[in-house]
A and B are shown apart, each in its own frame.
Chain A
Amino acid sequence: MIEYFIRRLLGAIPTIFIIILVSFFLIRLAPGGPFDFDKSLAPEIQANLNAKFHLDEPVYKQFGFYLKGILQGDFGPSFQYKNYTVTELIGQGFPVSMQLGLSAMALALLLGSAAGILAAYRQNSKFDYGVMTISMLGISVPNFVMAPILILLFAIMFSIFPAGGWNDGALENRILPIVTLALPQIAYIARISRGSMIEVLRSPFIRTAFSKGLPTFYILTRHALKPTLLPVISYMGPAIAGIITGSVVVEQIYGIPGLGRYFVQGALNRDYTLVMGVVVFYGVFIILLNLIVDLLYGWLDPQIRLQGKKA
C-alpha cells in the first residue's frame, strides 16, 4: 500500500513539471504584460520594474528562476498585490475555499446520495420523478443565477442571512455560499447514486439478500450502499478538487476571500506569479485527490483489492 502510494506520488512529478512548463509559457504568450495600464509608464520605470521581477531576462532563465523558487516552496511575489507574496495569498485564500468546499461537498454527499438511493429504491414513483426533476433543475441552473436568487430571497426579502461578505467566517455568512455550491453537486450525486443503486439492486447478491428475508433498511445500508457509492466516489475526486480550490462565481457574488478569484484575476492582470501559483497548487491537489480516490476504491470494492493482490 505505502509502496503503491509513493510510486504514484513519484509518477506525479513529471505531470506537475509539464503543468508548470505549459502554464509558464502560455501565460507569457498572452499579449500585454503585468505593468501595462491605460496610464503609460515612463520607459525607464517600466525597465526597472521588469528588472526587479526578472522579466528582462530571457524566458528560459525566468523559467529557471521560477523552478528554483518552487523547489524552495517560494511562488514569488505577486505583481498585482504588492504587499503580499503568492504563497501568502494562497495561504489566506485556500483555507476559506477549503472550508466552504468541504462543507458543501459533505452536504451534497449526504443529501444527494440519500435522495438518489431512495429514488432508486422507489423507482418510477412520484418521489423518483420529483428527485430527478429537481436534480435536473439543480444541474441546469448555473450558480450565477442561483446565487442572486438566494440573496434576493434570504438576504433582501427575509433578511435571514447577509447578502455577502465573509465577516471572518461567521456561520451566517457561510450558509448561502455553501448552499449555492452544494446545490448542483447534490443534483449530480443524486443522479449518479440513483443510477448506480438501480444497477446494484438488480444484481444477484441483493436479490439473494431479499429472498433470505433480510430487512430492507439492512440490505440497503449494509449490502447495497458500498457498491452504489463507487461511481460517486470517482466523481468526488475531481469535484472536491474543483470545489475546494474555490469557485470564481460564488466568491465574486458573495464577496468571499477564497482562492477561486485568483485564477481569473491573476490571468486578467497578467499577474504571472499568481497565475502560476494557483495553477501549480491546483494541479498538485487534483493529483493527490485522484490518488486518494483510488485508495478509497480499493476499500469499497473487494474485487479491486483482490485483483491487486493477484497482480
Chain B
Amino acid sequence: MSQPTKLIVGLTFACFSALLTSVSCLAAETFAAKQVLHRGNGSEPQSLDPHKSEGVPSANIQKDLYEGLISESPDGALVPGVASSWTISKDGLRYLFTLRENAKWSNGDPVTAHDFVYSWRRIVAPKTGSYYAQTLAPVLNTEEIIKGTKKTTSLGVRAISNHQLEVTLKGPTPYFLGLLTHSSTYPVHKASVEKHGDRFARVGNLIGNGAFVLKEWTVQSHILLERNTHYWDNKNTRLDKVYYYPIENQSSELKRYRAGEIDLAEGVPISQMPWLRKNLKQDLRIAPYLGIYYLGYNLTRPPFKSNNKLRQALSMVINREVLTEKILKTGETPAYGWVPPNVANYQQVEYEWKRWPMSRRIKVAKELFQQAGYNKDKPLTVEIRYNTSENHKKIAIVIASMWKKHLGVKTKLHNEEWKVFLASRKAKKTQVFRSGWIADYNDAYSFAELLHSSHGVNDSGYNNPEYDALLAKSARESDSNARRGLLQQAEKILLNDYPVIPVYFYMSKHLVKPYVGGYQDNVMDHHYSKHLYIKAH
C-alpha cells in the first residue's frame, strides 16, 4: 500500500482566492435590509431526503439544507464543505478527509465522520431503495452491496475518529471529489432518521447540516427555508429566508417574475425568447451546461443494425447550425461530438467533417447512403420517436426535412407520453429516438459510461468491446493525462461507430433580478442560496 501523501490540494488555494475576491465584492456592495430570496424551482420536489429523491428541484433545496464533504463556490469550483482538508494516496484509492470540528447539525449536534459512515451505508443499502445508490459506485464494494452479495458494513468508508473519515475506492476516480457535491452523498442525521423513518424529511423533523433549515412546506405552494444559526459558516450567509416555489409552467413563472414575486426563475419559456432578449436582456442568464441533446439509433434492429454507412449518412446531412441558430434560437451549441465542451480535464473530440462545407458533407453522405443500399428507387423509410413536446417535435420535423431534401428519406414522426416513451426506448421498439443527458458530475466519464454495453441508459444497444475495454482501463488509470487520452480514444471509436446523432449541447437558462448578488453562471448550473444576497435596490 502506498504511503498516504499529504496533498494540499491546489484547489483549496484556487477557491481561497475566489473566496477573497467574492469577499471584496461583498464589501463594495450595499445590502438590502430585508434579505429574503424568492426562487422558482420547477416541479414539486419528490422528497427532501437526499437519499430518496431524484431530479433537480429536490437537489436545489437539498443543497441549502445539507452539506457534503465537498462544496462548490459560486462559479462551480470545488471547495471544502464539511471536510476542511483531505489527503489522497498516491495510487488514488484512499482518501482521508478531516472534518471541521465546528460543523454542526441544525439542532447543535456535531457533524462527525460517523454520520457520513451511517449515511453512505444508508444510501447503498438495498432496503433504502435509493435512486442514486450508484453515485457511490467508485467506493469499494458499493456494487456488491446494491446487488445484495455483501453487507452494508463492507462499504469502503470508515470513521477513524470523530473528525477523520477514510474512504477506500475501487479504482482511482479523478472525479471523486466532484461526485461528493452530489446531493445523494449528503449526510443525514441518524437520530432523527431512526426516530421518524420516512417522515424525517418534514417540517419539525428534518435536521440538516446546511446553511438553511426547513421552516414551512406547503405541497405545491412553497417551501420556506430559514438561516441555520448552527451552520459553521453562518457568518457568511447573507440571506435570512429563502422561498422555493414549485412552478412547472414556465410562462406562469415568467409572469410571476415580471410581477416581481420571484427573484430567480428556474426556467425560461423558449417561445418567449425573442421577447426576453429584447426586454429582459440584463436578467437573462444563458450559460453552457453539461448536457447533450441527441438522437439514438436502435442498433439491434434493421435498418440501422450493422449499417454504419447509413447511420453516418443520416448524421452528416443534419445542419446543426441551422437547427440551433435559425430554429431554436436559444443559444445552444451545435454538437459534433459526444462529450460537451467545458468538461473538466478534457479536450473535446469532434467529427472531422464538422469543418467541411455543407455541400461536401451532403455529397459524401449521398455516396454513403447509396453504399448502404438505398437510393431513389429504394428509399429509406424511418421513424423518429420522441416524447411529446413542442420542442422535440420541431426538431424532429427539421431533421426529417433535411433527410428528405438531401437523401430522399421518408420519416414518420411518432410521439409518446414520457413514461410510455421510456418504456418503448428500453424495450428497443424504436428506430431513431430522441434522448438527452445531463451530467451528474463534471467529468467526461459521466457521458462516456452512457454507451457502455452494460449501462442501463444505453437504449441504442451499442456494444463495442473495444470501447468498453477503454472505459475499464480509464477507470484503473490514476494519471489524469493518460486517463484523458484513454477517454478521448474511446470517444473517437464511439463517434466512428455512429450509435447516436449528437444534435446540440444544452445551455442553462435562468432569469435573475439585477438586485440578486452573488450569482454566477457555472457549467453544473448549481446555485447555492448561501452565496446569494439581495442588494439594496
Contacts and interface: CB of A to CB of B under 8 A. Distances in A.
Interface in B237-284: 245-249, 251-252, 255-256, 258-259, 261
Interface string B67-104: 00000000000000000000000000000000000000
A89 B219 contact: yes
A214 interface: no
Contact of A82 (B49, B255, B424): B49
Nearest to A80: B46
Contact of B422 (A37, A81, A256, A258): A37
Interface in B359-393: none
Nearest to A166: B221
A130 interface: no
Contact of A155 (B198, B255, B426): B255
B134 A254 contact: no
Contact of A255 (B199, B247, B258): B247
B127 interface: yes
Contacts of B261: 162-165
B131 interface: yes
Contact of A166 (B52, B131, B218, B259): B218
Q: Which of A45, A48, A255 has the most CB of B within 10 A?
A: A255
Q: Which of B129, B146, B261 has the most CB of A within 10 A?
A: B129
B468 interface: no
A284 interface: no
Interface string A33-51: 1011111111011001100
A168 B218 contact: yes
B49 to A, nearest CB: 7
Contact of B129 (A36, A45, A89): A45
A257 interface: yes
A200 B532 CA distance: 66
Nearest to A161: B259
Interface size range of chain B in the complex: 35 or more
Contacts of A92: 218-219
B495 to A, nearest CB: 22
B247 A83 contact: no
A156 B130 CA distance: 43
Nearest to A258: B220
Contacts of B54: 37, 39
A30 B218 contact: no
Given A93-B220, A159-B259, A253-B252, A52 B129 contact: yes
B47 A44 contact: no
B494 interface: no
Contacts of B437: 38
Contacts of B219: 81, 84, 89, 92-93, 257
A151 B261 CA distance: 13
B202 interface: yes
B417 interface: yes
Contacts of B48: 83
Contact of B424 (A31, A151, A152): A31
Given A32-B419, A155-B255, A83 B198 contact: yes
A13 interface: no
A99 interface: no
A261 interface: yes
B249 A252 contact: yes
B131 A37 contact: yes
B220 A254 contact: no
Nearest to B201: A83
A151 to B, nearest CB: 5
B133 interface: yes
A156 B259 contact: yes
A195 interface: no
Given A30-B419, A36-B423, A252 B252 contact: yes
Nearest to B455: A40
A251 to B, nearest CB: 8
Given A45-B131, A81-B47, A148 B422 contact: no
B420 interface: yes
A52 B129 CA distance: 9
A83 B49 contact: yes
A11 B247 CA distance: 41
A164 B255 contact: yes
Interface string A54-94: 00000000000000000000000100111110000100110
Given A37-B422, A164-B252, A44 B258 contact: no
A230 to B, nearest CB: 38
A168 to B, nearest CB: 7
Interface string B146-165: 11100000000000000000
A156 B262 CA distance: 13
B226 interface: no
B213 to A, nearest CB: 16
Interface in B417-444: 417-420, 422-424, 426, 435-437
Contacts of B134: 42
B363 to A, nearest CB: 37
Nearest to B206: A83
B53 interface: yes
A295 interface: no
Contacts of A36: 419, 422-423, 426
B140 interface: no
A6 B146 CA distance: 54
Nearest to B419: A32
B146 A44 contact: yes
A40 B440 CA distance: 13
Given A83-B202, A163-B258, A44 B147 contact: yes
A49 B131 CA distance: 10
A268 interface: yes
B423 A257 contact: no
B457 interface: yes
B321 interface: no
A117 B280 CA distance: 49
B218 A257 contact: yes
A270 interface: yes
A152 B53 contact: no
Contacts of B424: 31
B259 A254 contact: no
A82 B53 contact: yes
A24 B51 CA distance: 29
Nearest to B217: A83
Contacts of B435: 38
Contacts of B417: 268
A156 B218 contact: no
Given A52-B129, A168-B218, A255 B245 contact: yes
A32 B420 contact: yes
11 contacts: A32-B418, A39-B456, A83-B47, A83-B49, A93-B220, A155-B255, A162-B261, A163-B258, A164-B255, A253-B252, A257-B221
Interface of A: 30-33, 35-42, 44-45, 48-49, 52, 77, 80-84, 89, 92-93, 148, 151-152, 155-156, 159, 162-166, 168, 251-258, 261, 268-270
Given A31-B424, A37-B131, 9 more contacts: A38-B457, A48-B127, A81-B44, A82-B49, A148-B255, A155-B259, A164-B261, A261-B220, A268-B417
**Shortest beta-carbon contacts, A-B, top 6:** A40-B456, A32-B419, A163-B259, A257-B220, A257-B221, A82-B47
